[in-house]
Amino acid sequence: MAAWRGDGRELFYLNTDLKLMSVEVTLSPTFQAGTPKPLFQTKVAGINNTRNNYVVSHDGQRFLIYTPPDDSQLEPVNVILNWPTLLKK
């Protein structure tokens, strides 16, 4: 899915190799698209879902991108049950 810059003059999208692309556009008098330019490589989960994995700031200068964690970075989660009784000791 594509995302527009706040003023509608630039369109951002992921290409098939997950690079974030930018293309300048004009809307008046008719829609015209410029030459697409690659911005940077992403590590998003994929482009086959119906949701954007990124959002663009209003000025088109910053991006918030969902990147799934690497399995090597996962830390275990410890759950302590009945913890109030441990405080009494």
Across the range 12-23, mean pLDDT stands at 92
Residue 59 CB-half CA count within 13 A: 2
Split at pLDDT 50, 70, 90, the class of 50 is low
Burial degree of 76 (CB within 10 A; 0-12, 13-18, 19+): exposed
Residue 16 has pLDDT above 90, yes or no: no
Across the range 16-30, mean pLDDT stands at 92
Using CA atoms of 70, 72, 73, 76 in order, give the dihedral in degrees to the nearest 10: 120
pTM for the whole structure: 0.71
Residue 89 has pLDDT above 70, yes or no: no
Give residue 33's pLDDT.
Answer: 94
